[in-house]
Structure 1
Amino acid sequence: MTKPPLKGKKPKYVHAYQDRHGQPRVYYNKPGQKKIALRGPLYSEEFWVDYHKAVEGKEIVNEGAGAAKTISGTIDAIVAKWYLSADFVNSAPATQRNYKSVIEPFRKEHGSKTAANLKNVHINAILDKRALTSTAQAKNLGKRLSTMFKFAVEFGLVASNPMIGVKKVKHEVEHYEMWADDEIAAFRAFWKDGTPQRQALEILIYTGLRRSDVVRVGPQHLKDGFIKIRSQKTGVDLNIPVHPNLTDYLVVGDKRHLAFIVTAYGGSRSEKAFTNWLKEAATKAGLPDSRSPHGLRRAACRALAEAGCTVWEIMSITGHQSVKEVEGYVADVDQAKLAKSAIAKWAKA
């Protein structure tokens, strides 16, 4: 983020004035581009958030919409301020959407309450009620509240953190079912080379990409023998060497589109549509209807582990940011294959 100029000297392309009603108006007005409204007042935190987004060409969505109308000291005010924080604004768009999907129901129910009155016993009751419906949702809410109230304490919005002493929600993580080797072979036998279904399977297996990245990856991401793409979910830059078995499948199905995987009409697929499409293809190949793109991502992790790759090497391919998550993915690798690989390395040494 560039250093803010001294007050009195407006940033480049910024136009500020008072309208006929005496209300301040601030715009980013770069020649040749559409004029963009920024939140004021000039030099405020909200202004700088919008200004830097405009400079970088990012869409401006007022994450803290309604912040000026919230009542100071309420939970609603803390949520609005958190949405404007550097940590939140600089996180990946997918992460922001995920966090807001968890926080907004909580905000709707408790936003008008005074934050100073919120204690750990209240949080325990809220999480316990949520856990009756879904332990996964309760656990996610607890994580997001911990992050938000840590911010609130650091910036003096509350005197104490109500999350201290909150009991942990017990939740068993349910992984998507991993594709077995014989299932992958059955899919390949049914969907021959040249079909988009086969192309999708090979890209998923030999890159380990998330579905959100698989639907975007195309020739523009190929450079010097690598697939170079920024993860939609985490914002991490991935550099994946092209596997020799993948080369023939990296062709564009429709020249009108930049992605490798497109619809029959040349359009891009959404994440959900892609998942449903691949699951339908797996079912037609005689596989269980639970076989999904994420299950192939797990299969890619397993294949890397069975090839003797370390957890860190696997993470460098898949873009995972949690060692524990990868370890969970490869917990059921073929022990015999690993043992054989280990002895082979030992004998060579």
Structure 2
Amino acid sequence: MSGVVAVPGTKLRYTYLSKGTYWRFRHKLTGDVPLPHDSALQWSQQQERSTFMERYAELLAIVEARGAKRPPARSSFAWLVQQYRRSPEFSELADATQTDYARTLDLIVQELGEVRYAAATRNILKAVRDDHAATVRKAHKIKQMLSRLYSWADENDLVPAGFNPAKGIKRLKRKGGDKEIVVWSDVEVELFLKGAPAHLVTPVLVALYTGQRREDVVKMTWQQFQGDVIRVRQSKTTALLDIACHTALRRHLDKLPRKGVVICTTADGKAFTPNGLSGAVRRRVEALPDMPNNRSMHGLRYAAGSRMEEAGCTVAEIESVLGHQTFKMVLKYASQRLRAAAAMAKMEAAESA
């Protein structure tokens, strides 16, 4: 029997009695080796005990030395990552963002752990990025996180001022171009909602009329719905927003029975997960014969911004709901649609003149 076994007068880890007579030490770092003691019954001689314990101590030291974690070298990427993860800047990030960053930081330690961060060149960092070029998004996140690490190191006087070899590394381009987030049209929203099960209607309307990410849609509680206002704590930015509740959304929510804590629930009355909600919406989209398949929850967020743009909302008003980066991406689509509509209106006016 392996594990902790009884030897007269003590208990010794990783030992066992073979054939009821011979003591052996077994561990993956040492293998299965005999201990210098012939019989389990002969423990009267002090010298024999001493020899046994000396050999046991040697084997145990191998296990403990190999199993112990050495602290990373002060100059290494492993140390830099460790310090960043202990920093107030990392601690103040939203939980979801910390989890996302942690995956990339672990990858950097795996790839560059013992490399001296102050001596790393752009070519070294670029090679790490290129190792993951098959997944363009992951490769870009590695590049971004390396740049973020160096910026943090600069702020904390851990590298020479302005030293950031990751900063000039270009972003890899996805074959066929960047993945496009398609904005839902009004016709597509109406097509989706017509005949949709109630548990999908609610999250789609919440996303469309609040412009929030799926992670925040699934966490919205009835307590946050205050009639004319929905209060949202964004998981990505941690920003607290008071969003005026659109009349159509307010009427829908007022009709719903308030069961449980969160507003959006599955058909079984359970809270959605972000991936679960995206999957449910995607399956509904794919089941509609007249609906394009590339419509997503994120596309509803863009649709909310596009509607605000078309309604004449100011940049500051739209950014207050969506955030700066999302607004810039929405503006590109919304502006094109407005210009196209204006062009068609002018053409029809000219033809009827």
For the residue of structure 2 that corresponds to 1:190, the secondary structure is coil
Of 217, 222, 232, which aligns to 1:219? 222
Per-residue CA deviation, residues 116-164 of structure 1 (Å, 9 max, x unaligned), is 3311221222223333x13332222222111111222332333472426
Counterparts of 1:109-148 in structure 2, within 5 Å, are 109-131=111-133, 133-148=134-149
**Worse overlay, 220-229 or 162-171:** 162-171
- Deviation of 1:328 after TM superposition, in Å, equals 4.0
Q: Partner letter of residue 143 of structure 1?
A: Q
What's 2:150 paired with? 149
1:78, CA displacement in angstroms? 0.2
In the alignment, what sits opposite 2:93? 91
The separation in 2 between residues aligned to 1:105 and 1:122, in whole angstroms, is 15
* Aligned counterpart, 2:107: 105
Does 2:262 correspond to 1:259?
yes
What code does the residue aligned with 1:79 have? Answer: V
Match of 2:194, SS state, is helix
1:240 to 217, 220, 243: 243
- Farther off after superposition, 206-215 or 178-187: 178-187
Contact preservation (8 Å) 1:102, 1:141: yes
Select 2:202's aligned residue among 199, 202, 226: 199
Q: Percentage identity across aligned positions?
A: 27
2:129–2:139 Cα contact (<8 Å) kept: yes
**The residue matched to 1:178 in structure 2 has which SS?**
coil
Residue type matched to 1:244 in 2?
A: T
Displacement of 1:183 after TM fit? 1.3
Asked if 1:283 corresponds to 2:265, the answer is: no
State the TM-score, normalized to the length of structure 2. 0.69
Match of 2:165? Answer: 163
Q: Residues 151 and 164 of structure 2 are in contact (CA less than 8 Å); yes or no, is this contact kept in structure 1?
A: no
Q: TM-score, normalised by structure 1?
A: 0.70
Q: Which runs of 5+ in 2 are unaligned?
A: 1-67, 346-353
Indicate how the Cα distance of structure 1 residues 216 and 164 shifts in structure 2: closer, same or farther if over 3 A, else same: closer
1:187 pairs, out of 178, 189, 192, with 192
Which of 304, 307, 329 is the aligned partner of 1:303?
Answer: 307
Q: How far 1:174 moved relative to its partner? A: 2.1
Give the secondary-structure state (helix, strand or coil) at the position aligned to 2:248: coil
Q: Is the 8 A contact 2:139 2:172 kept in 1?
A: no
2:180 aligned residue: 175
Question: 1:21-57, CA deviations, whole angstroms, 9 ceiling, x for partnerless residues?
Answer: xxxxxxxxxxxxxxxxxxxxxxxxxxxxxxxxxxxxx
Distance 1:106 1:205, change over 3 A: same
CA apart distance, 1:291: 1.8
CA-based RMSD of the aligned residues comes to: 2.8
* C-alpha deviation, 1:271, in angstroms: 0.3
8 A Cα contact 2:199 2:267, kept in partner = no
Moved over 6 A (4+): 338-341
Contact 1:315 1:326 (C-alpha < 8 Å) held by counterparts:
no
Give the match's secondary structure for 2:115: coil
Any conservation in 1 of the 2:183–2:295 contact (CA below 8 Å)?
yes
Q: Secondary structure at the match of 1:209?
A: coil
Cα deviation 1:176-231 (Å, max 9, x = unaligned): 22222221121232327xx2222222222111111111111132002361101100
Structure 1 pair 165–86 and aligned structure 2 pair: CA distance change class (3 A): closer
Task: Return the alpha-carbon distance in structure 2 between the equivalents of residues 164 and 220 of structure 1.
Answer: 44
When residues 277 and 107 of structure 1 are mapped into structure 2, their CA distance, relative to the original with a 3 A threshold, is: same
Give the Cα–Cα distance (whole angstroms) in 2 for the partners of residues 336 and 199 of structure 1: 31
The answer for the alignment partner of 1:14 in structure 2 is none
Q: Which has the higher helix share?
A: 2
Aligned residue identity for 1:108: Q
Is there any run of 5+ residues in structure 1 with no aligned partner, and where?
A: 1-65, 342-349
Give 1:274 shift: 0.7
Indicate if the aligned counterparts of 1:124 and 1:167 stay in contact, CA closer than 8 A: yes
